Amino acid sequence: MDETFFADPYGHYARLRAGGSVHQVTGPDGAPAWLVTRYADVRAALQDPRLSTNAAHSNGCGYRGLPLPPALRNDLLHLDPPDHTRLRRLVSHAFTRRSAESLRTAVEEHTEHLLDAVLPTGSADLMADLALPLPLRVICDLLGIPREEAREVADWTDTLLIPGCPHAAADAIRRAESHLRRIIAEKRENPADDLITGLVEACDENGRLTEDELVSVAFIVLAAGHETTASFIGNGVLALLSPRHHWERLRADPALLPAAIEELLRFDGPLPLAIRRFATEELTIGGTRIPAGDSVLLSLASANRDERRFPQGDRLDLDRGGQGHLSFGRGIHVCLGIPLARLQASVALTALLHRAPDLALAVPPGELAWRPSHRTRRLAALPVTC
């Protein structure tokens, strides 16, 4: 996984799909794994209860996840039912379509404020100036984290996603845990209308979650709640501007936007891989036997370009609608924040189409740099003229 791979992983995935659905690989952390690349097998595996995200089912083959302290190890992403079901139920109300829609005005105000700061200059880095700060502000508002602390939150997440830096990641996680515990203590003293206050009440009043679970849930929502949306906004704008006729098509027919968002998610989604799975028993995927305890990587990026499901999958087609894409996963671990992510992408693109109709890349697409991370596919910067 070098710079060439991060710049364009899709050619590599196409070659793998052509040779079969399942391949033995060395994962980004150096541990062996089975990589699943074809749509039908990825989709089925995402919903297969014999594949658990809990590393307790690992055969001890060298897998090393994030260096999480004990309080954060039993999180939503890595729990099985019934604990997963219980914790997810406590936060799911904040991420329904209705709840997301109630935030539309706030998302629009954030977007307008961010664009007011850069559009008059005639140029911008859409990652630094819009794609990153917008979802960060929204998730901090949702959780009840003060706006002035958002930059520190972003620094934690960036550190966690840097490959090959376990000591820096461990330090960032310790700082994040300490920070969240302080905020939780403050919410106990001064409750507010936010998600952390709601979780505190669930912990204190009826014991539906422990103190460590409270911290863990807040940590996962915070870490995952802005990174994927930021990545998608950047990827989506890039896809629409290269070539630019896609942008012109949306300008001419804004009603296409909802379907365009789904196609953009399929074409270049923010998550290359689903959460790592472990086989709880021997099973077969795509004709390949997977021993119990082995590690399984499900390539969402490859599945979304699989020509068996999406003819000419390497071509962006705004009329396709992207129906059936796997960018948010499937099954019990399907992304919790789907409605909020779609809302923010829709608001951001609508504002850009309206306020920056002549938006264009400031450099050729081939000169753009991608951040070296297997966890999210995100541009390092997106320079544009506006």
Task: Look at residue 1 in the predicted model and tell me its pLDDT.
Answer: 65
171 — pLDDT class (breaks 50, 70, 90): confident
Task: Look at residue 322 in the predicted model and tell me its pLDDT.
Answer: 75
The pLDDT of 9-38, averaged and rounded, is 92
H/E/C letters for each residue in the chain? CCHHHHHCCHHHHHHHHHCCCEEEEECCCCCEEEEECCHHHHHHHHCCCCEECCHHHCCCCCCCCCCCCHHHCCCHHHCCCCHHHHHHHHHHHHHCHHHHHCCHHHHHHHHHHHHHHHHHHCEEEHHHHHHCHHHHHHHHHHHCCCHHHHHHHHHHHHHHCCCCCHHHHHHHHHHHHHHHHHHHHHHHHCCCCCHHHHHHHHHHCCCCCCHHHHHHHHHHHHHHHHHHHHHHHHHHHHHHHCCCHHHHHHHHCHHHHHHHHHHHHHHHCCCCECCCEEECCCEEECCEEECCCCEEEEEHHHHCCCCCCCCCCCCCCCCCCCCCCCCCCCHHHCCCCHHHHHHHHHHHHHHHHHHCCCCEECCCHHHCCECCCCCCCCECCCEEEC
Instruction: Provide the whole-model pTM.
Output: 0.92
Domains of the chain by range and CATH?
A: 3-385 (1.10.630.10)
Task: Look at residue 119 in the predicted model and tell me its pLDDT.
Answer: 94
Task: Look at residue 222 in the predicted model and tell me its pLDDT.
Answer: 83
Reported as a single tens digit per residue, the pLDDT across 46-56 is: 999 999 999 88
Over 90: is that where the pLDDT of 304 sits? yes
Reported as a single tens digit per residue, the pLDDT across 91-145 is: 887 788 888 888 999 999 999 999 999 999 999 999 999 999 999 999 999 989 8
